[in-house]
Amino acid sequence: MSQAPVPPVPATSVEAIERALAVDGHVFVEAPAMRRLLEAAGPLSDWAAFTASWDDMPVDAFMADGGRYRRRRYAVFAADAVGIERQPHQPHYQGLEYNRLNGGVARWFEPVADAIAQGPSLQAALRCCHALFGKLAPQARRWHVELHQFRIEAIPGESGKPTPEGKHRDGVDYVLVLLIRRINIASGTTTIHSPDDRDLGSFTLTHPFDATLIDDHRVFHGVTPVQPIDPAKPAYRDVLVVTFRAIAD
């Protein structure tokens, strides 16, 4: 009889995070360690405003399943040895091989507000990713960086699906998923899978700053649907997703 996958041991230092990502292709980082990692890249002095920016996001109008449970904003940056610079607003595109539900369409989402995009918290997250992923791929000189603010709402009678496309890859090199808030929801468990569909582990982002980092070439990931604990109250899961894709010279 096959055994259930063993939950990953959270990494607690920069060295352990780098090693786990390099060896296993994924790593779960608990909030205290992730916060230290972010603060090493810059101050989080606007964290309250950063968190509050999830409260006014429009509904994702490109859900092929007809769901109204996802809200999002989007931004694109370029990163190189000089720094990280926001790019003109543009559509998000994934091929059907990466997103069988919503792929194959140029999806125009509302942009991340300038004050948030240039604020210290988001800039710290971008610098943190740039430094970490740059160490793992030193040959990459330039990166195409996409940033997504997601809110998944758990509505009575309709489960919220953080990954409605199911287990998937994003079609990039590296991914950060950072929990911002988790309000009145059950489930929302992250699952990690090998390309041949073996379960490699599972964990739940529970506290603000809990995070997972993923080598998108090596593993698939998904998140189970969320349900409201108290159906009479608002229920949602807010995350920041940052993807890095190396640009060939």
Q: What is the pLDDT of residue 23?
A: 95
Q: What is the pLDDT of residue 3?
A: 46
For the chain, how many structural domains are there in total? 1
Q: Is residue 5 part of a domain?
A: no
Q: What is the pLDDT of residue 8?
A: 62
The answer to whether the CB of 180 falls within 8 A of the CB of 51 is yes
Q: How many CB atoms lie within 10 A of CB 92?
A: 18
Q: Is residue 68 part of a domain?
A: yes
* Cut 0.75: pTM above it: yes
Q: Is 236 left (phi over 0), alpha (psi -120 to 50) or beta?
A: beta
Q: Which domain holds residue 219?
A: 14-246
Q: Is residue 139 part of a domain?
A: yes
pLDDT digits (tens, 9 = 90+) for 94-139: 888 887 778 788 989 999 999 999 999 999 999 999 999 999 999 9
**Closest to 191 measured CA to CA, from 158, 237, 224:** 224
Report the C-alpha gap between 153 and 235 in whole angstroms. 6
Segments in the chain below pLDDT 50: 1-6
Q: Is residue 3 part of a domain?
A: no
Strands 174-183 and 236-246: antiparallel
**Closest to 112 measured CA to CA, from 131, 90, 94:** 90
Q: Is residue 9 part of a domain?
A: no
User: Hey, what are 222's tokens?
Assistant: 């998904």
Q: Is residue 83 part of a domain?
A: yes
Q: What is the pLDDT of residue 156?
A: 80
**Closest to 191 measured CA to CA, from 9, 2, 28:** 28
Q: Is residue 7 part of a domain?
A: no
Q: Is residue 101 part of a domain?
A: yes
Q: What is the pLDDT of residue 65?
A: 87
Q: What is the pLDDT of residue 26?
A: 97
Q: What is the CATH number of the domain that holds 209?
A: 2.60.120.620
Q: What is the pLDDT of residue 53?
A: 98
